[in-house]
Structure 1
């Protein structure tokens, strides 16, 4: 039976190094203050509604004031998705 040939492995050549590209990070400094402001406004809206027995912040909304307060809080969570 004939002997098989031994293959020579190619020498390792490292891949060429890439130049570091500058990554432009957009400024997201507005996210945290707006998020916290929405949380605080929503919480304050609900607390004022309960403390004043529904006469404030907007009397004509009635119990929908709770929905408005939770809407501000939900908007705060929505803004928080932009935080990086």
Structure 2
């Protein structure tokens, strides 16, 4: 049985990347990342433990939850940049 002739395809050349290989993170990166997550967690826990919601900042009332979760989210987003 005769074999079919293959089509001549141009060879694939990947595009050149203009990005340089990035080095490791600075020394302060991991402590700040973990610190943000822990401080956010402590902020939310403090808000719930204070029964009358007097702590950490009584003027912003339920926005204390938003502050705590924003701190935790900032720490979590830093984990995506951790090398």
What TM-score, normalized by structure 1, do the two folds share?
0.65
1:35-50 matches, within 5 Å, as: 35-50=33-48
State the partner residue of 2:29. Answer: 31
| 1:28 shift after superposition | 2.8
Are 1:31 and 1:82, in contact at CA under 8 Å, matched by a contact in 2?
no
Q: Which residue of 2 aligns with 1:4?
A: none
Map of 1:52 onto structure 2: 50
5+ residue gaps, structure 2:
1-20
**Greater Rg over alpha carbons, structure:** 1
Question: Per-residue deviation at 1:26?
Answer: 4.6
Q: Deviations over 1:47-75 (max 9, x none)?
A: 11111121000001111100100000000
Q: Which runs of 5+ in 1 are unaligned?
A: 1-22
Compute the TM-score of the two structures, normalised by the length of structure 2. 0.66
Give the SS at the match of 1:29. Answer: coil
Distance 1:74 1:27 in 2: 19
| RMSD of Structure 2 on Structure 1 (CA) | 1.7
Q: How many residues align?
A: 62
